[in-house]
């Protein structure tokens, strides 16, 4: 009787829909979607892992598993008392155990949502019709009950489409209970959404497509550069430049505007290249992003909507930033082949994606230049025995980064000896060392400095730090063996 209870749990069915739509979803995002608290969403995630992966090898879970085999009717309170666990941990392990019952009994390992095609699983119907500007999404079945669930189930991109109107109907059907002989009733739902393409996004998509095409046409094949023999990788990370930002010296203590930012960038780049010239690297890793732009939209706000002191129009700052990065990459490729890593920040998440796409188009015919502008917020680079992770640092908890690296890149983790994370966001230099697990090696987390001075708000709050930019020289077998620092006057 356990499996039917699992099948007819509406909250869990909604959770499976969300997880299938986004397999990387975390407990907080899942909690927001379901309207529950994070402990509940965490248990739902663990239950899903039990259903799709089976029993856990965690020592506490194995104790719970043994206890449940002796006392199958015991709940979280008795389990926690018997094993000395907290109630939350007992509930978490019991959620995994509940899901594993379906796995053990041969139930489907796939969640009911996000099918391979437009045809939903048996007992449900999904139809999508319409054209480029309008669509209609219709569903009939027992699992999808809300507009949000149907949008997720139909894999509708809500950044492009908005709901113009909708209809939701509900009725019940009965069937004979094969176990007890009675009548089981199940609610069925009929939903229909009329969608229209968001006008602003449509225009932006068209404009961006035209821009990329023009860049491709303007990017003729270039002659390969002949490099002398070299060794090692030089990483240049000029973090948090905030192109477009304005600081008034009388108010903040130091002036800053787009022209000053560009001059400071070039001074740092040339100084770092000069200091590292003796290394003769075979490869340059150029990290672009981490709040390269100060704002993300025409409203002069960050991605999250925080207003900023901006000195330029949004179009002007993008063109300025694009020109600066193209010139910088061209300069670096005269030294060694360049691997460009695009890392979004909390100020410019959208614009960094556009910049990465533009740079990819511009350098598509340039030997010795590779642009990594994939969508993942965390990027990884493997060089010999080195594994380096990159993220802006405003979302992830820093003490969780080592284990996150091990989980996201297990093969690279196993093949390397030296592992680091490089973060921006804080405009100051700091190094932390964390242990991913008691049986694993430590991981160094570097918070990199910035050339950007505080604006009015940060100056008023007393946030100050030493302005700087850094480069790192990586030996293929011995890790980071040299650090170069540029400190502006």
Confidence of residue 2 (pLDDT cuts 50, 70, 90): very low
Confidence of residue 246 (pLDDT cuts 50, 70, 90): very high
Confidence of residue 346 (pLDDT cuts 50, 70, 90): very high
Question: What does the alpha-carbon distance between residue 69 and residue 102 come to, in Å, rounded to a whole number?
Answer: 16
Look up the pTM and report it. Answer: 0.59
Question: What does the alpha-carbon distance between residue 233 and residue 279 come to, in Å, rounded to a whole number?
Answer: 9
pLDDT tens digits, 291-322: 999 999 888 889 888 889 999 998 899 999 99
At residue 410, the pLDDT reads: 92
CA distances from 65 to 3, 80, 82, 97, 171 (A): 17, 13, 13, 7, 40
pLDDT tens digits, 62-113: 889 988 888 888 988 888 888 888 888 889 999 998 888 877 444 433 334 3
Evaluated on CA atoms 233, 234, 240, 241, the torsion sign reads: negative
Backbone angles phi, psi at 353, to 5 degrees: -65, -45
At residue 199, the pLDDT reads: 65
Residues 472 and 237: beta-carbon distance below 8 Å: yes
How much of the chain exceeds pLDDT 90, in percent?
Answer: 46
Is pLDDT larger for residue 112 or for residue 458?
A: 458
Residues 369 and 363: beta-carbon distance below 8 Å: yes
Q: Quick one: which of 143, 126, 133 has its CA closest to 192?
A: 126
CATH class of the domain comprising 224-486: alpha beta
List, in order, residues 6 or more apart from 228 with CB less than 8 Å away: 280
Rg of the chain's alpha carbons, rounded to an integer? 27
Backbone angles phi, psi at 304, to 5 degrees: -85, -5
pLDDT tens digits, 152-191: 888 787 777 888 888 888 877 666 666 666 666 677 888 8
- Domain chopping of the chain, boundaries: 2-104, 125-200, 224-486
pLDDT tens digits, 186-227: 778 888 999 887 765 556 666 666 666 776 666 768 889 999
CA distances from 191 to 59, 124, 139 (A): 45, 11, 5
At residue 160, the pLDDT reads: 74
Q: Quick one: which of 274, 282, 284 has its CA closest to 229?
A: 282
Fold that domain 125-200 belongs to in CATH: Translation Initiation Factor IF3 (3.30.110)
Q: Mark 473-488 as b/e (b = at least 16 C-beta within 10 Å).
A: bbbeeebbeeebebeb
**Average pLDDT of the residues in 41-61:** 86
At residue 247, the pLDDT reads: 95
How much of the chain exceeds pLDDT 70, in percent?
Answer: 86
CA distances from 468 to 325, 453, 487 (A): 19, 10, 5
- Of the listed ranges 403-412, 435-444, 452-461, the least confidently predicted one is 435-444
């Amino acid at each position: 009787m356990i499996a039917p209870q699992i099948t007819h749990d509406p909250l869990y069915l909604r959770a499976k829909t969300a997880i299938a739509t986004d397999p990387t979803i975390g407990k907080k995002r899942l909690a927001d979607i379901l309207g529950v608290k994070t402990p509940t969403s965490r248990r739902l995630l663990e239950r899903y892992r039990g259903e799709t992966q089976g029993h856990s090898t965690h020592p506490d879970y194995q104790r719970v598993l043994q206890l449940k085999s002796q006392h199958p009717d015991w709940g979280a309170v008795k389990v926690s008392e018997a094993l000395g666990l907290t109630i939350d941990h007992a509930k978490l392990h019991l959620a995994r155990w509940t899901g594993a019952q379906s796995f053990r009994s041969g139930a489907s390992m796939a969640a009911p949502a996000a099918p391979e095609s437009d045809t939903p699983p048996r007992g449900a119907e999904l139809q999508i019709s319409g054209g480029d500007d309008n669509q209609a999404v219709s569903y009939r079945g027992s699992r999808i009950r809300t507009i949000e669930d149907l949008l997720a189930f139909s894999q509708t991109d809500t950044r492009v489409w908005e709901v113009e109107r909708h209809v939701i109907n509900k009725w019940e059907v009965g069937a004979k209970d094969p176990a007890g002989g009675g009548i089981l009733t199940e609610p069925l739902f009929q939903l229909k959404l009329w969608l229209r393409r968001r006008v602003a996004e449509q225009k932006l998509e068209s404009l961006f497509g035209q821009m990329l095409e023009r860049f491709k046409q303007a990017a003729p094949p270039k002659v390969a550069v002949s490099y002398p023999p070299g060794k090692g990788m030089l990483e240049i990370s000029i973090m948090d430049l905030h192109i477009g930002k304005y600081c008034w010296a009388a108010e903040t203590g130091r002036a800053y505007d787009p022209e000053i930012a560009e001059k400071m960038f070039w001074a740092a780049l040339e100084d770092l290249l000069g200091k590292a010239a003796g290394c003769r690297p075979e490869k340059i890793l150029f990290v672009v992003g981490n709040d390269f732009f100060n704002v993300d939209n025409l409203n002069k706000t960050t991605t999250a909507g925080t207003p900023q002191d901006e000195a330029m129009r949004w179009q002007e700052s993008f063109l300025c930033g694009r020109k600066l990065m193209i010139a910088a990459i061209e300069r670096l490729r005269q030294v060694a082949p360049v691997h460009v890593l695009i890392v979004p920040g909390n100020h410019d998440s959208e614009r960094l994606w556009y910049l990465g796409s533009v740079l990819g188009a511009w350098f598509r015919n340039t030997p010795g230049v590779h642009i990594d502008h994939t969508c993942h917020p965390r990027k990884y680079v493997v060089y010999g025995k080195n594994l380096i992770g990159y993220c802006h640092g405003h979302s992830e908890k820093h003490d969780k980064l080592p284990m996150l690296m091990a989980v996201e890149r297990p093969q690279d983790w196993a093949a390397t000896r030296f592992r680091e994370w490089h973060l921006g966001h804080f405009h100051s230099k700091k190094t932390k060392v964390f242990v991913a697990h008691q049986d694993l090696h430590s991981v160094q987390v570097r918070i990199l400095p910035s050339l950007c001075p505080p604006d009015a708000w940060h100056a008023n709050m007393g946030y100050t730090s030493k302005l700087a930019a850094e480069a790192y020289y990586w030996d293929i077998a011995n890790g980071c063996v040299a650090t170069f620092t540029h400190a502006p006057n």
